[in-house]
Amino acid sequence: MKKIGILGGTFDPIHNQHIEIAKAAYKKLKLDEVWILPTKLNPLKTNISATTEQRIAMIKLAIQDFSWLKLNQYELTTKEKVNYTIDTIKAFQKKYPDTEFSFIIGSDNLLSLNKWKDIHQLITLVKFIVINRPNFQPSISLMEKYHCQNLTLELPNNISSSKIRTGENIDLLNQDVINYINDNLVYYKERLKFHLTNERYQHCLNVGETAKKLAIKHHENPEKALIAGTYHDIAKQWPKEKLINYLKQYYPKGLSAPFNLYHGYAGALYLQHHLKYQDKEIISAIFNHTSGAVKMTKLELIVLLADKISPERNYSGVNELRKLAQKNLTLAFSKYLEILKVSLAARKLPLTEEFNSIYQTWHKKQVK
């Protein structure tokens, strides 16, 4: 008889602790396989935010190295709005008659087992395997009542999936899953909203979309433009102290630049060091989005211009700049520098040496 353990959950996203639980069950219970069983998204639970396709893709990446670990999509394919474990188990037993199933739950679930549909029948069909969750010591009487088996695996701490989604703690993700989240902008909403007000969040989305359109127009990579544009201002509203400390840690040279450039540097470094983005072009586009530079790649120009012509921008000359950006990125940037120069003069703000050399360089390109 084949022995299979089932680990259900939303897996939003799947993380290393899920894999550790599966491994422990596989080894200690001498199972043939462990099935990862993602549940349908509960429409009332708004904190679930990856799409079903994204959750499946992340699970596949996280389990790819383990032949005994399988993804089972049964509950995602049924017509019912909500799946009950008893129905799933009955369906499995019908389909796989020579298999003994066990069902892995956390000790925190033990208290609510009495609310599970047909629990008394369910415990005759499967063995419940209980994993100790920190601060949820399993009650011996409940363990006996539901014929549960304790899997002696002490989890070090409770993993907060919401902290993984906001990007506060992604150490427990497999690098392939991290790359997938990054490349597909999974959890961009949580990641941005953790740092930004609604208004700034909306600006970031607008810049991402504008950058993507410009990239298509100018034959640059639209996905990279979308990512860099979406995250370009992630550090814009950090407190001054935090910006300074971040630069001290990762880019002390940047501290000598004007303060308004700090957020671009910090945002780029945050993507690189905390969110673990590996694409240098995306990082440098964010790094240089505020002031530009003497030398700029096409992607850098696109993200910078998208920021200056984003739909909610409303300053004198912006419409002309919008039209120009569709036609010629060099001319558009040069035009932007002219607008900026006039505006700085009007506000009696000094022109830095850095600004002057950028201005001269791009002005020459315009004349050519």
Closest distance of CB 201 from Fe ion, Å: 11
Closest distance of CB 342 from Fe ion, Å: 20
- 201 or 362: CB nearest Fe ion: 201
DSSP state of 155: -
Closest distance of CB 294 from Fe ion, Å: 19
Binding site for Fe ion (CB under 5 A): 233, 307
275, exposed or middle or buried, with CB in 10 Å at 0-12, 13-18, 19+? Answer: middle
Closest distance of CB 241 from Fe ion, Å: 19
- 220 or 307: CB nearest Fe ion: 307
**In whole angstroms, what is the distance from residue 293 CA to residue 133 CA?**
52
Determine how many CB atoms are found less than 10 A away from the CB of residue 78: 14
- 134 or 258: CB nearest Fe ion: 258
- 127 or 289: CB nearest Fe ion: 289
- Taking each helix axis from N to C end, the angle separating 240-250 and 262-273, rounded to the nearest 10 degrees, works out to 60
**In whole angstroms, what is the distance from residue 143 CA to residue 148 CA?**
5
Strands (DSSP E) contained in 147-203 are 149-154
* H or E segment to which residue 9 belongs: strand 2-9
* H or E segment to which residue 343 belongs: helix 329-346
Closest distance of CB 286 from Fe ion, Å: 9
Q: Count of residues for the chain?
A: 368
- 33 or 307: CB nearest Fe ion: 307
Determine contact, residues 212/232, Cβ cutoff 8 Å. no
Q: Can you tell me whether residue 292 is helix, strand or coil?
A: coil
Closest distance of CB 339 from Fe ion, Å: 16
**In whole angstroms, what is the distance from residue 261 CA to residue 291 CA?**
7
Determine contact, residues 218/330, Cβ cutoff 8 Å. no
* H or E segment to which residue 34 belongs: strand 33-38
Closest distance of CB 30 from Fe ion, Å: 56
* Residue found under tokens 């099935």: 35
- 110 or 304: CB nearest Fe ion: 304
- 279 or 307: CB nearest Fe ion: 307
Closest distance of CB 106 from Fe ion, Å: 42
**In whole angstroms, what is the distance from residue 132 CA to residue 138 CA?**
7
- 71 or 344: CB nearest Fe ion: 344
Pairing of strands 149-154, 127-132: parallel
